[in-house]
Structure 1
Amino acid sequence: MSLFRPVRRARPRGPAAAALLAGTLIAALLSPATHAAANPAGAAPAAADPPLTTPWTSQVSARNALPEYPRPQLTRDRWQNLNGSWQFAEATAGQAPPVGQNLAERVLVPYPIESALSGIKRHVDHMWYRRTFAVPPSWHGDRLLLHFQAVDYHTTVYVNGVRVATHTGGYDAFTADVTDAVRGTRPQELVVGVDDPTDIGTQALGKQRAPGDGIFYTPSSGIWQTVWMEPVTAAHVERVDTTPGLAAKDLRLTVHAAGAQAGTVEATAYAGRRKVGRVTGAAGTELRLHIAKPHLWTPDDPYLYTLKVRLRNGHGPADEVGSYFGMRSISLGKGPDGKVRMLLNGTFTMQVGTLDQGFWPDGIYTAPTDAALRFDLQAHKRLGFNMVRKHVKVEPDRWYYWADRLGLLVWQDMPATYAGHSPSAATKTQFETELHALVDQHRSHPSIVVWVPFNEGWGEYEPGRISAAIKSWDPSRLVNADSGVNCCDSLPDNGEGDIRDDHTYVGPGTPIQQGVRASVDGEYGGLGLKVDGHMYDPAHGFAYEMEPDAATLTRRYTELQNRLLQVEKGCGLSASVYTQITDVENELNGIYTYDRKVLKPGADEVRKANLALIKASGSVGQGGGGSFPPGTPGLDGVAFYPLDEGTGTVAKDTAGSRDATLVNGPAWTTGHSGSALQFNGSNQFADTGAAILDTTGNYSVSAWVKLDRRGSFATAVSQDGDTNSAFYLQYSGADDRFAFSFAGVRALAPAAPQTGQWYHLTGVRDAATGTLTLYVNGEKAGTASACLGDPSTGHTVIGRGKYGGNQVDFWPGALDQVHVFDRALSADDVAALYRSGK
């Protein structure tokens, strides 16, 4: 229910006569409004101090608050910008709109009230905005449309006391025809009431929290995108939907119109000044505009055609609008290595991007200027990225316009709710209404290639149905049903959508491409650096991995991207999203500081590493990729420790020459066959003194094991890496199961083991299939996908592991007959080894 009670409705005007509107070119997008709006709010709001200033903070004033044309894909040459100084007041429940009343405070629209740029800089749940405006005399006889690009969250609009619109949703544009509420030529009164429960409701709100904290940030309430108006003919264009069709060399075009039951559309496409196509047909129907030799849109060549649309209905002047489009396709298909990949224009192009959350220290949700809005995207291009993931936020239309023009692929998230996995029917309806509006409003931007309805399970429900709904609304793009389906609050992955998306910090994750979906690293990284004088709150800054200086940050970033290069080639990865392009409040893991004043890592090194990933798109599957040496035949392996000495400090390698030294005095005991080693579970192990295995290829390890106790991790055989063991043949205390593991990935046995009982464990790493397989007593017990093995030059050891740079997981019990193989044993090999007893 709306907080705001309407007042008595004023007497409407009679029907307005239509007037011809001239078409507009794309150049008009860079210009402010043709007519400046009357601004009776009085003195401009007093500036508030932001926690950090950006290079654009000082450029903002009541005279130039985002003056650019706000709707780049449907332009007209006559419009009026209503941004600037407005009156403002807090509201109370049930309060009538303050028609004819001056409000005590001043707010700078369109900056959210919590922002310093607004002049308010505090959170308010219920609020009033008020101003007057003048209708230019040249607009007399036209219909007058009042547009709100975005208001958070529930909005009621009055013109001269007449309620002209209500809207629920914080991210989509809405429009009111206010013609019949306008009175004569005197100043017209505009009152806007807003109700924003933020995180105490079930609304879609992304990362807004009151107060912001941790990975959630300061909320943005009220008007936060441009307010404007324009005159139109009685029959006029409301929306132009375009979808490129490369196979047919055409543009599928639907013109949605108002006030015309049977209007006729004429659409003309231009390449520069040259006309390249024309189509006519009925409004509201799909038309095909043929483009004989389409110039494809790509990140390297973001070519845009100009589109002019004229609507006639036979009873008045035509409505003319300008637009643009790009010719490109996005699909799934086989890459050069036969793995399913994301294809741009039919070709695998590795998508290399960042997480872009779109927050600002001075404007919070609203960039201070259009140049600031453009800056983050230009930074992506300068640093060699070709993609950006817009994270649980929707930007103003001009952001997507700049992505289209600059050449960046966009993954567009739906702002999350936090209603849990069982939201009410009303919450679902509202979420899906806003999701549909998101798709409809932005469907014609060539930059957008992926829709992301859910992130890490936040507010996730029925992902299969939601993904199918998005596909029905827009079959031309891919759907990432749940970014981070492997973590957090995500529901079980049942194969929904076009993409399986892994989130691993610091990572990168190594999700292997399987089945019919593409595989991506939708979040990884999070490398941090503190920069004095450029932190939101120095006492509370954090990152997933904090670096001591810029040189270390640059080196670590390069290491992550080099690792991604292996994942791209070996695992079939199609895309990567690094966290993140800028710091956000207390998160200090940005490539830029939050104020956009400092680039933290070396630009040349970042660009080189990113471009290497993109360049590799054309060489995946060429060499390497799945061909591995056959390994040493037989069941002894390349190292075999029978552990039959029964005494001494050395365990003989009877298959090779890498005898193991006993460390900290493990005792000899009765084994499964002959003698064995007894470990105390705290500091004892046996060190072979060598890196026996190439852990980037195929290998297997086996041992007879007996546990004296359960509950904590315990490792029978491993090989040390720089930070973690390359593999673990182990007991997983977290699962109470035997396991064969990489750090973060475990192939688990189905049941808990018993203490005091001998078991034969075999772990098989098959690099060609990207799997880990655990066998228990000769039978296959569990498998897991892990497409890459970590390179390791550390020693192969018996009785412990390594994690986080420390020796860990010491075995509490006995171990016997340890084998190390430089090949992936078959199931028959494992069964034979178990039966042999050795």
Structure 2
Amino acid sequence: MTQQTSRSEYPRPQFVRENWMNLNGEWEFDFDDDNLGESAAWYTDHAFTRKIQVPFCYESKLSGIGEPGFHDVVWYRKTLSIPGEYRGKRLLLHFGAVDYEAKVWVNGRLVAAHEGGHTPFLADITDAVIVGGDNSIVVKAADYSRDVTLPRGKQYWKEQSAGIFYTRTTGIWQSVWLEPVEPAHIRRIRLTPDIDRNDIDLEVFTAGFKPNQSMMVRAKITFQGEFISEDTFSIGQESVSRTIRLEDFNDHGLGRWWTPEKPHLYDLELSLLVDGVVTDTVKSYFGMRKVSIEDGVLLLNNRPYTMRMVLDQGYFPDGLLTAPSDDDLRRDIELTKEMGFNGARKHQKVEDPRYLYWADRLGLLVWGEMANAYQFSETYVGRFTREWLQTVERDYNHPCIVAWVPINESWGVPNILVDKRQQQHALSMYHLTKSLDPMRLVISNDGWELVKTDLISIHDYEWRREVLNERYSDKEKALTARPANRWLLVPGFEYEGQPILLTEFGGISFRKSDWEGWGYSGAADEGDFMRRLTDIMEPVHKSPVLQGFCYTQLTDVEQEINGLLTYDRKPKLPLETIRKIVTGIG
């Protein structure tokens, strides 16, 4: 069951149920600048004075409010009628993301509390609702606009955007939905492909397990409509692991691996059977791909592969962090590929799962990056670690993600060069991430001041062709250049032969809209822009050292006008011209 409203697509595309209710659209809304709402029990009775369009934050135009000022505590209310056919089900209320802290009440009863502005949470509201009657859902969201130890990404702690920082996002900014499920249902799944063994490791986590019941999972795999396999296996506790061999690999080999050029995906349908009766069915998918390093060479599916990436901040003029529509997310990926890139580094943002879905479907490598804090503290370490754990769990199954970037440019660890605690924090994030996900690459501190890392990733906004040619002409020069006057590796951490990539460069500003702004170097007109772009791209293509790059950036963002596209996604040069420069072909 769905209803057509704002962002009406199913929000969680790797874990799909047919029966669900979209709760996006109009909610009641109020600011609570004095933070009195909870003590005044706004969750039971309050005369709300505003309306807002969820899932758009109040700072955005699409919310219907569009006030960018500081309002750190906000409240939402929606009256919801629960259909009679939901009687006897467990009712799961889902939030894609609420920035930063959230409390949720249903009919005056607290049902959930969550910390972390980029990660999902849910509440089982079964015992709090009236089936067949009206129900009140109230959300309190608290953000801390001036707290620079908060994992905030590019959200500025001053009222007006400036430099590399943009308008804040407060409150609900991803979809809200309700799902009815049986008491025994599937909670989540974990999919780990292994192209060397031709199999997929499947872990299924369930709820409602009872020792006196027979619980089985049936897994059906198809490829482009062709039947591949069907397996049924028992659940002894609340989870089960099973390795499923994909015999079709023996016949088709490379033809069914996932790459940006050929993003082949297998479809997976999971059914939970309790005493022989199906109680839950979930649809998912997976891609068979491998990212690895052998003898210092970066490989995709055991073949050398050059990553041609673009920095993508994931902001939109009218929605800020929230895309106006699913089509807008898809179009960003299409434009990225049309310009010759095979990957994107999602910068300072844990992206909407719908973006990752389209990256899986259309074929785009993604580096998953955490929204960083700006200063270090013990509170920051706890906040950051908890949210990063949730991020890796949420996005683990996406084949498009090939690398994790917990920290960027020493954000949150500004004294990492000399502060042992900050070094240990970055080192712990590397090892923690590897313990959660052994199949992807991890970059401990993208850009400079790296500790243990799988890749040497360099940020360099030099724009002179001759300097770039010399700097990246051999490995020793690249490793000792110190762009931005920063050490590449923290002293005590030696280069271990890792692949070297230029993961931020470019940033050429060129105004082609009404936006005023800045960039790292300025172009006077289209011809100058093309010359400057060529001047920085050709040394990268010629370098015998670099195994990939990430150009800054995909689009203009607010006062930054250094995109290949304007903020409203208009190309600054013909797409084919950009493609020839980016690929070095033509």
Give the structure-2-normalised TM-score. Answer: 0.88
Q: Does 1:255 align with 2:196?
A: no
Whole-Å Cα distance in 1 between the matches of residues 193 and 534 of structure 2? 37
C-alpha distance in 2, partners of 1:231/1:130? 21
- Structure 1 pair 523–193 and aligned structure 2 pair: CA distance change class (3 A): same
Determine which structure has greater relative contact order: mean sequence separation of CA pairs < 8 Å that are 6+ residues apart, divided by chain length. Answer: 2
1:529 to 510, 514, 538: 510
> Within the alignment, does 1:561 sit opposite 2:514 as a pair?
no
Q: Which has the higher helix share?
A: 2
1:315 Cα deviation after fit: 8.4
Structure 2 unmatched ranges of 5 or more: 250-255, 414-421, 480-494
- For 1:235 and 1:316, locate their aligned partners in 2 and report how far apart those are by CA, in whole Å: 11
Residue 553 of structure 2 corresponds to residue 577 of structure 1: no
Counterpart of 1:427 (choices 367, 380, 394) is 380
Partner of 2:324: 368
CA contact (8 A) 1:551 1:601 kept: no
Displacement after TM superposition at 1:558 (Å): 2.1
Give the ranges of 4+ consecutive aligned residues of structure 1 lying more than 4 Å apart after TM superposition. 511-514
Aligned to 1:78: 19
SS at match of 1:553: helix
- Partner of 2:62: helix, strand, or coil? coil
Aligned pairs (5 A) from 1:13-52: 34-36=1-3
What SS does structure 2 have at the residue aligned with 1:285? strand
Provide the rounded CA distance (Å) in 2 between the counterparts of 1:451 and 1:565.
25
Contact 1:554 1:602 in 2 (8 A): no
Residue type of the alignment partner of 2:145:
T
Per the alignment, residue 248 of structure 2 pairs with 293
Matches within 5 A, 1:597-616: 598-612=570-584
> Structure 1 450/261 Cα, relative in aligned 2: closer, same or farther at 3 Å?
farther
Selected match of 2:501 from 517, 520, 532: 520
SS in 1 for 2:269: strand
- Cα offset for 1:317? 4.1
Q: Which amino acid aligns with 2:9?
A: E
Shift of 1:316: 5.9
Number of the residue aligned with 2:103: 156
Q: Mean Cα displacement is larger for which, 358-367 or 130-139?
A: 130-139
SS in 1 for 2:549: strand
- The whole-number CA distance in structure 2 between the counterparts of 1:528 and 1:606 is 15
> Aligned to 1:434, what secondary structure does the other structure show?
helix
2:440 pairs with 477, 486, 490, which one? 477
Task: Report the CA distance shift for 1:532/1:270 in structure 2 as closer, same or farther (over 3 A).
Answer: closer
Distance 1:98 1:277 in 2: 50
| Pick aligned residue for 1:312 from 251, 255, 273 | 273
Larger radius of gyration: 1
- After TM superposition, the structure 1 = structure 2 runs for residues 107-146 of structure 1, keeping only pairs within 5 Å, are 107-122=52-67, 123=69, 124-146=71-93
Which residue of the partner structure matches residue 129 of structure 2? 182
Give per-residue Cα distances to partners, 1:236-287, cap 9 Å, x unaligned: 1111111110111001111111112564222111012222123333352321
User: Which is further off, 579-588 or 426-435?
Assistant: 426-435
What is the 5 A alignment of 1:10-409? 34-36=1-3, 64-91=5-32, 92-95=34-37, 96-122=41-67, 123=69, 124-200=71-147, 202-209=149-156, 210-211=158-159, 212-261=161-210, 263-281=215-233, 282=235, 284-294=239-249, 295-314=256-275, 317-334=278-295, 340-409=296-365
Q: Secondary structure at the match of 1:433?
A: helix
Which amino acid in structure 1 is aligned with residue 147 of structure 2? I
Q: Hey, what does 1:832 align to over in structure 2?
A: none
Distance of aligned partners of 1:399 and 1:532 in 2 relative to their CA distance in 1, 3 Å threshold: closer
Query: Could you tell me how far apart the structure 2 residues matched to 1:432 and 1:311 are?
Result: 33
Tell me the alpha carbon deviations over residues 115-164 of structure 1, each in whole angstroms, 9 at most, x when there is no partner.
11112222410011011111122222111100000000100001111110
Residue identity in the other structure for 2:548: A
- For the residues of structure 1 that align with 2:524 and 2:404, how far apart are their CA atoms? 37
Q: For the residues of structure 2 that align with 1:584 and 1:473, how far apart are their CA atoms? A: 33
1:448 is aligned to 2:401: yes
Distance 2:401 2:246 in 1: 21
Could you tell me how far 1:418 is from its partner in structure 2? Answer: 1.4
CA distance in 2, matches of 1:448, 1:410: 5
| SS of alignment partner, residue 48 of structure 2 | coil
Report the counterpart of residue 410 of structure 1 in structure 2: 366
**Aligned counterparts of 1:278 and 1:246: Cα–Cα separation in 2:** 19
Is contact 2:82–2:131 with CA below 8 Å preserved after alignment? no
**What SS does the aligned partner of 2:239 have?**
coil
Q: How does 1:664-683 map to 2 (within 5 A)?
A: none
- Three-state SS of the structure 2 residue aligned to 1:577 is strand
Partner Cα distance (1:110, 1:246) in 2: 38
Distance 1:35 1:603, change over 3 A: closer
Q: Tell me the residue number matched to 1:438.
A: 391
Match of 2:66, as an amino acid? K
> Is the contact between residue 558 and residue 605 of structure 1 (CA under 8 Å) also seen in structure 2?
no
In 2, Cα distance between the equivalents of 1:419 and 1:97?
34
CA distance in 2, matches of 1:102, 1:201: 33
Name the SS of the counterpart of 1:332 in structure 2.
strand
CA spacing shift, 1:363–1:134, aligned 2, 3 Å: same
SS of residue matched to 2:78: strand
SS in 2 for 1:556: helix
Q: 1:319 to 1:532 in 2, by over 3 A?
A: closer
Shifted more, 270-279 versus 225-234: the winner is: 270-279
Q: Deviations over 1:746-799 (max 9, x none)?
A: xxxxxxxxxxxxxxxxxxxxxxxxxxxxxxxxxxxxxxxxxxxxxxxxxxxxxx
Post-superposition offset of 1:94 = 4.3
Q: TM-score of the superposition, structure 1-length normalised?
A: 0.62
Give distance in 2, aligned partners of 1:140 and 1:503: 56
CA distance in structure 1 between the partners assigned to 2:209 and 2:36 by the alignment: 39
**1:68 partner amino acid:** E
Q: Percent identity?
A: 38
Conserved in 1, the CA contact under 8 Å of 2:22 and 2:178? Answer: yes
The Cα shift of 1:611 comes to: 2.8
The residue aligned with 1:733 is: none
Secondary structure at the aligned position of 2:367 is classed as strand
Question: Residue 560 of structure 1: CA displacement?
Answer: 1.8
**2:79 aligned counterpart, secondary structure:** strand
In the TM superposition, residue 602 of structure 1 has moved relative to its aligned partner by 3.1
For residues 258 and 203 of structure 1, the distance between their equivalents in structure 2, rounded to whole angstroms, comes to 33
Q: C-alpha offsets along residues 373-416 of structure 1, whole Å, 9 cap, x if unaligned?
A: 11111101111110100001011110000000110000011110
- Structure 2 residue matching 1:198: 3-state secondary structure: coil
